[in-house]
Amino acid sequence: MGILRPALVIIGASTQLLPHTYFLERYRKFRARYDFEDNEIPVRGDIQRRFDEVIDDINLLSCSSKIEKEHIKLFNVHDIEVFHAGSLYTKFGGVVGIPANFEYENINSITDGTISIQYPSLNWDLEAIKEFHSSLVLSENAQKFAMAREIIKVATLDPIYKFCNVLGDMIIAIAGYDLLYSKLNGTKQQKGIQAFCISITAIATFFLTALTHSTLDTYREKEVNEIMSELDSKYIQGGVEYYEKLSQKNKALRVLLGTRGTYLYTPTGNQAGLFGISTKLPNSDQINYFQTRLQNISSQLV
């Protein structure tokens, strides 16, 4: 056990770091979108142009470190959410994944070949489907807002922070297990006590890690919001639209996914957290935040 414990701690913590460093390219390929011949679908030229423009806009901010375009890669992600991985503070750089709906110009652009909901007990509510499709169409401002948000997150040390977080939590877990085991006077022959101690320690560690991750993610969301507010007002307008569309999509999925939808999403379009623990600020709060920023800009212009 003397060698096994440190090994388990390092392996457990490394799951938070390796996909963002040494295995970043493999992780990117796993999340990428492919055609029917298993070829990765390249990013469309106009979308790449918007991405480059966003980096240029962020680099104009005095509160932001300068971002080298060659250190961050844009790709098509197989999902309906924007995605990021890696960190610009490592030699591996970062990646930002954009979903297929960034290519949509209107609802007529949507096809089952690019967006479909694979769920056996899907509730085919026509109004909800219409709302879902409408939520996928984003303006250029909303797309650039979403890209900027992910770029700013890549320009942080979050993967390293989370590695240290899990490392610390697992050390605490082992110490907690030893303390509980000794209090119960457990021996190697008492398998029931061992199982009880492992179960209690595992549950406590899960909640501890979830809470600390949630705290970091929430802090990062607020920090990103402050940085985004320093950008052009078009980004703020894009932020309002982006979160309104995200809320609209969640409300539609709440209906379409039936029982599972009511578990995943709230009636107001927010994402429900596991056991009440959420890693994201509610969409309703985000909408209010950027609407307030827009109102402040308008009042200053009067």
Q: pLDDT (tens digit, 9 = 90+) per residue, 124-167? A: 778 888 899 999 999 999 999 999 999 999 999 999 998 888 88
Q: pLDDT (tens digit, 9 = 90+) per residue, 228-240? A: 989 989 999 999 9
Contacts of 28 (CB under 8 A, 6+ apart): 73, 75, 85, 95, 97
What element of type H or E holds 210?
Answer: helix 191-228
Tokens of 33: 């979108």
Does pLDDT of 121 surpass 70? no
What element of type H or E holds 136?
Answer: helix 126-136
* pLDDT of the residue at 114: 62
Does pLDDT of 64 surpass 70? no
Q: pLDDT (tens digit, 9 = 90+) per residue, 87-106? A: 999 999 999 999 999 999 88
Tokens of 262: 């009511």
Cα separations in angstroms, 109 against 114, 115, 282: 10, 10, 29
Mean pLDDT of all residues belonging to the chain: 86
Cα–Cα nearest to 210, from 265, 156, 275: 275
Cα–Cα nearest to 290, from 248, 227, 198: 227
Q: pLDDT (tens digit, 9 = 90+) per residue, 198-221? A: 888 888 888 888 888 888 889 999
* pLDDT of the residue at 63: 67
Tokens of 89: 């503070």
Angle of CA points 87, 90, 91, to nearest 5°: 125
- pTM metric for this prediction: 0.88
Per the DSSP assignment, residues forming a β-bridge with 86 are 94
What is the DSSP annotation of 29-52?
HHHB-B-TTSPBPPPPHHHHHHHH
Q: pLDDT (tens digit, 9 = 90+) per residue, 3-15? A: 566 666 777 778 8
